[in-house]
Chains A and B, each alone.
Chain A
Amino acid sequence: SQTIHQWPATLVQPVGSPLSLECTVEGTSNPNLYWYRQAAGRGLQLLFYSVGIGQISSEVPQNLSASRPQDRQFILSSKKLLLSDSGFYLCAWNLGAGANVLTFGAGSRLTVL
């Protein structure tokens, strides 16, 4: 069966520090991978998606970047965090080019102080 892992689960970082959140999917090949941010009262905002290794599409311009160094690995990064980067970051995956159900990870809660 397929599983999705995110880490770290919780992170507290000072403003200006770097960030790396990791997401891996097991039990499938060539998934579509997504990073969403969930902020209170604002729902889920799609940040990045990837249909393959090295292929990243950005939905919203921001202080963050994403990379996909391996088929089942998706990394969310920042060189210098801002206070506004605080939030709950969710990784998700699905298969195929059609509209398929997204499966979400447990999320990573980032607090920038």
Chain B
Amino acid sequence: AQSVSQHNHHVILSEAASLELGCNYSYGGTVNLFWYVQYPGQHLQLLLKYFSGDPLVKGIKGFEAEFIKSKFSFNLRKPSVQWSDTAEYFCAVNGHLYGGSQGNLIFGKGTKLSVKP
């Protein structure tokens, strides 16, 4: 069965520090990968996605993620975090597995990011 692992439950950084949140998935076929973010009190929203092509994808607010197929990874990065990046971040994978809706996403458990001003 597909699964998504996010290695860090809670990450605490100071402003301007660099960020890397790990995400590994288990599925051997074609995958689509996503990072979603949930700011305090707000909807879960898409940060970035990878469907095909350039494995380095750029999202909103200066975030990027790199798909490394050989490592089954899709780590999220940002060179310099801001206090406003404080949120919970979820990695998700959609494998071409389900006979029904292929829009099903399997989510990781999430990583809380706290940025100190």
Q: Would A99 and B44 be within 8 Å (CB), given that A43-B110, A49-B100 are in contact?
A: no
B40-52 toward A: CB 8 Å interface, digit per residue (1/0)?
0001111001010
Cβ A49 vs Cβ B104 within 8 A: yes
Q: Would A102 and B100 be within 8 Å (CB), given that A41-B9, A43-B108, A90-B44 are in contact?
A: no
Cβ B90 vs Cβ A99 within 8 A: no
Contact-residue bracket for chain B = 20 to 34
A105 to B90, alpha carbons, bound, how many Å?
16
Q: Would A99 and B109 be within 8 Å (CB), given that A44-B90, A104-B45 are in contact?
A: no
Report if A32 contacts B (CB, 8 A).
Answer: yes
Max chain A C-beta neighbours (<10 A), residue from B9, B34, B103: B103
Report if A94 contacts B (CB, 8 A).
Answer: yes
Report if B102 contacts A (CB, 8 A).
Answer: yes
- Within 8 Å CB of B46, what residues of A? 101-102
Q: Would A99 and B103 be within 8 Å (CB), given that A104-B43, A104-B45, A105-B43 are in contact?
A: yes
- Within 8 Å CB of B94, what residues of A? 99
Cβ A106 vs Cβ B105 within 8 A: no
**Among candidates A41, A42, A96, A104, residue contacting B44 with C-beta atoms closer than 8 Å:** A104
The 6 tightest CB contacts between A and B, nearest first, are: A43-B109, A44-B107, A99-B32, A104-B44, A94-B103, A99-B94
What are 8 A-B pairs with beta-carbon distances under 8 A? Answer: A36-B107, A44-B44, A44-B90, A46-B105, A51-B101, A59-B104, A99-B32, A105-B43
